A = this chain, B = another copy of it.
């Protein structure tokens, strides 16, 4: 079964927002065995929406549409869908009740344009949106299904989880799609490819191998398509095992988890704790870690020590070190990591201090210079990196490098045990 996703909204095409909905929907659809054929973003323009709907209807069985359902005049998705299906409008009692109750809950008066949110094309089935005022609409035509959902991510997510995915699962016999991911670090894409060339060459046609490089890590993804999950899983496991045994020392974990989550899992298994002392990454490493449920058994917290004063007061960096070597130096970053171990009483600590840019560089420490230190209770490892002149990139790469250094120290400590 093939699906397409159409996201509607000028804000996507002028680049004001990043379309995160599509990736989330695609992931959920793949998990139940629906392949996504295409993702299309179009503007709030009637003619263009109509032609996208027609093209998607030709290619796919299921068309999921998000966006353009707000109460304001720039949103035309509902009107355009009515035109596409040749339908008139009716007010939907369930949708009106939901709109009314939401406004009551927030103690706000109900005005005309909110009431109009409950008007829907008269041939669609309404699926009540419990988290917002725009109803979800389900259309069928020529054996194709069209679902229109609001573009607000959490409203769309609830509708997908609670309503749309269960309906699709119960109505269709879906093929099995099995993915298996192997997360690697400390090796580049082309070297990995060379290492596992012979295994890749003998993969059967229904199993594909993809390389997904990102910030010093490469994910290898085996994808198999067939009729039976169990068989596919067994097949994929055979190839995964061959690959893993070939590149053992680069493998972080053989599941599709974010890098920091893989590290958290290793630390949780060992019963060790972590703290952070961040300057130029400004809380980004802490944020990466604390995105994950259950992180609190490993991660105790840390400091975002932007100002000199906080490096001294929270982390106990010596004033003389800062004055003599500067904030971006091996000496300072080591004191930051060791200070975190001491003051936050954790088994491991990450410290980062650098010049994220775009300003603040000097001749001997240009923008992109980043010192990273990792400590356990006995040892501190420090390393300097020279990244780019782009701030966000430098923050992300610093975080990835710090996590790789932490992984390497954990591996080293693991060998000793």
> Which residues of A line the B interface, CB within 8 A?
10-20, 22-30, 35-44, 48, 52, 55, 70-74, 108, 111, 113-114, 133, 152, 154, 157, 179, 188-191, 193-194, 200, 208-214, 219, 221, 223, 256, 275-276, 278, 280-287, 289-291, 293-296, 299-307, 309-310, 313-314, 343-345, 356-359, 388, 390-393, 395
A15 and B10 in contact (CB under 8 A), knowing A304-B276, A304-B301, A310-B300? no
B residues near A304, Cβ cutoff 8 Å? 276, 283, 286, 290, 301-304
Please tell me if the beta carbons of B193 and A113 are within 8 angstroms of each other in the complex.
yes
Contact of A345 among B74, B209, B282, B309 (CB under 8 A): B309
A33 to B409, CA, bound (A): 50
Please tell me if the beta carbons of A42 and B48 are within 8 angstroms of each other in the complex.
no
Q: Which 8 A-B pairs have the closest CB atoms?
A: A282-B290, A15-B27, A283-B286, A283-B283, A15-B26, A301-B306, A39-B41, A300-B307
15 sample A-B contacts, Cβ–Cβ < 8 Å, listed by A number: A10-B223, A12-B22, A12-B39, A14-B36, A15-B22, A18-B20, A37-B43, A38-B42, A72-B193, A74-B210, A278-B286, A291-B392, A300-B309, A301-B303, A313-B343
CB-nearest residue of chain B to A30: B14
B residues near A70, Cβ cutoff 8 Å? 189, 211, 213
CB-nearest residue of chain B to A201: B73
CB-nearest residue of chain B to A55: B55
A70 to B40, CA, bound (A): 23
A274 to B72, CA, bound (A): 37
Please tell me if the beta carbons of B22 and A19 are within 8 angstroms of each other in the complex.
yes
A343 to B18, CA, bound (A): 38
Please tell me if the beta carbons of B211 and A72 are within 8 angstroms of each other in the complex.
yes
13 additional A-B residue pairs with CB within 8 Å, beyond A10-B208, A282-B291, A290-B304: A10-B223, A15-B29, A18-B23, A37-B48, A70-B213, A74-B208, A157-B390, A275-B310, A280-B290, A282-B295, A286-B286, A299-B306, A304-B304
B residues near A194, Cβ cutoff 8 Å? 111, 113
Please tell me if the beta carbons of B190 and A111 are within 8 angstroms of each other in the complex.
yes
Please tell me if the beta carbons of A287 and B293 are within 8 angstroms of each other in the complex.
no
A74 and B211 in contact (CB under 8 A), knowing A282-B289, A301-B307? yes
B residues near A16, Cβ cutoff 8 Å? 23, 27, 212, 219, 221, 256
Please tell me if the beta carbons of B344 and A209 are within 8 angstroms of each other in the complex.
no
Please tell me if the beta carbons of A71 and B193 are within 8 angstroms of each other in the complex.
yes
Please tell me if the beta carbons of B388 and A154 are within 8 angstroms of each other in the complex.
yes
Please tell me if the beta carbons of A209 and B359 are within 8 angstroms of each other in the complex.
no
A344 and B310 in contact (CB under 8 A), knowing A15-B23, A40-B40, A256-B16? yes
Please tell me if the beta carbons of B26 and A13 are within 8 angstroms of each other in the complex.
yes
B residues near A152, Cβ cutoff 8 Å? 213
A283 to B343, CA, bound (A): 18
CB-nearest residue of chain B to A298: B306
A21 to B19, CA, bound (A): 10
B residues near A133, Cβ cutoff 8 Å? 190
Please tell me if the beta carbons of A293 and B210 are within 8 angstroms of each other in the complex.
no
A36 to B12, CA, bound (A): 9
Please tell me if the beta carbons of A283 and B293 are within 8 angstroms of each other in the complex.
no
A361 to B24, CA, bound (A): 26
CB-nearest residue of chain B to A209: B74
